[in-house]
Amino acid sequence: MKLLCDEMLKGLARWLRTSGYDVAMEPDGRPDRQLVARALAEGRVLLTRDRFLLQIRDAMRVTVLLEGNGVESCAREITRKLDIDWLLNPFTRCSLCNSPLIEAEPSPQWPPDIRKAYRCPCCNKFYWQGGHVERMRQKLECWQTEFR
């Protein structure tokens, strides 16, 4: 399942990418019509909290309307509505730009206890096992048990 989030759902999009889902976003300010067209063209489910968007032709076919406020409640809602698996394939995609991560060449600049890391080939962000990733993984595990 491929997804497309509107600009109000950036936080949710990052968590879904962290779980391994392919989640596209359009640059801010794009007309809703363009979001619907992209979802149709690429076979993506469009997530939005904007009910006016449903008035656009064909929007009903691709859109899931979220009622929750904030990341956690939206996460809970799509778990039910779309059967989201929060442990699908964690930490395989860049949470910022959605690109699949590649294994990074070890570098002397890494913190001393890091042996393996991943890099985004697009925006060059590094991901390694550390406190931050561990906390994110715990959150995904928590959502997986609580919401499903």
Query: Shortest gap between Cβ of 36 and Zn ion (angstroms)?
Result: 25
Residue 8 identity (one-letter amino acid): M
Q: Under rule CB under 5 A, how many of the chain's residues touch Zn ion?
A: 7
Q: How far is the CB of 91 from Zn ion (least distance, A)?
A: 13
SS (H, E, C) 81-147: HHCCCCCCCCCCECCCCCCECEECCCCCCCCCCCCCEEECCCCCCEEECCHHHHHHHHHHHHHHHHH
Among 56, 97, 114, 133, indicate the residue that binds Zn ion (CB under 5 A).
97
- The contact pattern for Zn ion, residues 113-142, with x = CB under 5 A and - = no contact, is -------x-xx-------------------
Pick from 91, 64, 90: which is nearest to 9 by CA? 64
* Min CB(97)–Zn ion separation in Å: 3
Contacting positions for Zn ion (CB under 5 A): 94, 96-97, 99, 120, 122-123
